Structure 1
Amino acid sequence: MPCYRLDGLVPVVDPSAFVHPTAVLIGDVIVGPGCYVGPLAALRGDFGRILLEEGANVQDTCVLHGFPASDTVVGSNGHIGHGAVLHGCHIGADSLVGMNAVVMDNARIGERCLVAATAFVKAGFECPPLSVVMGSPAKVVRTLSAEELAWKQRGTAEYQLLAQRCRQGLAECAPLTAVEANRPRQVDAGFRPKTPSPS
């Protein structure tokens, strides 16, 4: 992975974490145990600290950054969806930030929350645990159900397994020129997208 020292600060990656070779880590970045960092993610600790606590995942093309003296924190088992931007904010343990959502400076997302895809969370926003946060600007719309929380936790567990799978078996290769007979599929663990509940 491209990993850069800056002003004497070297990124730290726990040996049990997986960081994709195309992700970029700069300066004051700490990736905790069992974390997953996806392709083309940028974790820029060139102003403030970037901290991923145990079991968190940051997916493809996410950007984590912040102002000087501000930390960007993803709590344990946090789940940051494809393309999300976190800037100087705190994401509580076991919370999910959906695809292409933006969470701005000094926002604090409580534990076990869900920030919907494409939400724009303004600077200084705060929400209590178990909040569902949606919209632009984002607001708390309701409380997360036990079923939704279990679904989120299952997704996070899949990414924790993916970190292990990638550490053990991901290897750069040349593509085949044709599909082989009886081409196998990835193992199906049964995890599926959440279907919307009827209105």
Structure 2
Amino acid sequence: MRFEHLGVSPRIHPDAVVAPTAVISGDVVIGPDCQILHGAVVTAEGGAITLGTNVIVMENALIRATATNPAHIADHVLVGPMASISGAVVEEEVFLATGTRVFNGAYLGARSEVRINGVVHLRTTLPPDSTVPIGWVAVGHPVQILSPDRHEEIWAAQRELDFPGYVFGLDRETPDLMVQLTERYGRSLARHVHDRRVD
């Protein structure tokens, strides 16, 4: 399914294959020989998304962009089932295994690999040829790649990256943070009420 969002329709190369149950919404460019499989969602939420050539987006994966962080996926990238990429740059020949999470403002260098359920956190730079092991977390710049049992170290780096401030423009110490966050984000997402199916 393809949708016009905020007045912009997806542009899909004729050699790309998009499954009928995939959702492509808004300012999205999909290059030649890409494969977008069943249940995948590629949604431009106010920012552009570009997929190069031979990008594979597997079942139920999510790629989204924001007004602050467009998403760019370079050539020969595999985005595994149930992976999620939000407003990040992924260079060529990157492998993102099942369940990986890549957050806003992240940069993944060429030929890097994020293994099953690995995380590349907000505003993190993963150098070329890096590996994030199964379930581990890459955080910061310069990057630290930490096992999940090192929560205090992950949290110390993550706190400095300021997820609520960077993504939602809200101070983490706001007493009613989730009230403000859900109301503000909900208003933004409500712009989909004017989407128009174009296929």
TM-score, normalised relative to structure 1: 0.67
Alignment of structure 1 residues 1-199 onto 2, 5 Å? 2-134=1-133, 135-138=135-138, 139-140=144-145
Asked if the contact 2:137/2:145 (under 8 Å) is kept, the reply is no
* TM-fit CA distance, 1:122: 0.8
Deviation string 1:142-199 (CA, Å, 9 cap, x unpaired) is: xxxxxxxxxxxxxxxxxxxxxxxxxxxxxxxxxxxxxxxxxxxxxxxxxxxxxxxxxx
Aligned residues: 140
Gaps of 5+ in 1: 142-199
Between Structure 1 and Structure 2, which shows a larger proportion of helix residues?
A: 2
Distance in 2 (CA, whole Å) between partners of 1:7 and 1:67 is 12
Asked if the contact 2:49/2:70 (under 8 Å) is kept, the reply is yes
Distance in 1 (CA, whole Å) between partners of 2:6 and 2:113 is 36
Runs of 4+ in 1 over 4 A off after TM superposition: none
Partner SS for 1:64: strand
Asked if the contact 1:63/1:83 (under 8 Å) is kept, the reply is yes
Distance in 2 (CA, whole Å) between partners of 1:125 and 1:92 is 14
Asked if the contact 2:44/2:66 (under 8 Å) is kept, the reply is no
Distance in 1 (CA, whole Å) between partners of 2:97 and 2:14 is 27
One-letter amino acid matched to 2:63:
L
Distance in 2 (CA, whole Å) between partners of 1:120 and 1:137 is 5
Asked if the contact 1:81/1:100 (under 8 Å) is kept, the reply is yes
One-letter amino acid matched to 1:46:
E
Larger mean CA deviation between 40-49 and 84-93 belongs to 40-49
Pairwise CA RMSD: 1.4
Distance in 2 (CA, whole Å) between partners of 1:55 and 1:69 is 26
Distance in 1 (CA, whole Å) between partners of 2:44 and 2:75 is 19
Asked if the contact 1:131/1:140 (under 8 Å) is kept, the reply is no
* TM-fit CA distance, 1:92: 1.0
Asked if the contact 1:55/1:76 (under 8 Å) is kept, the reply is yes
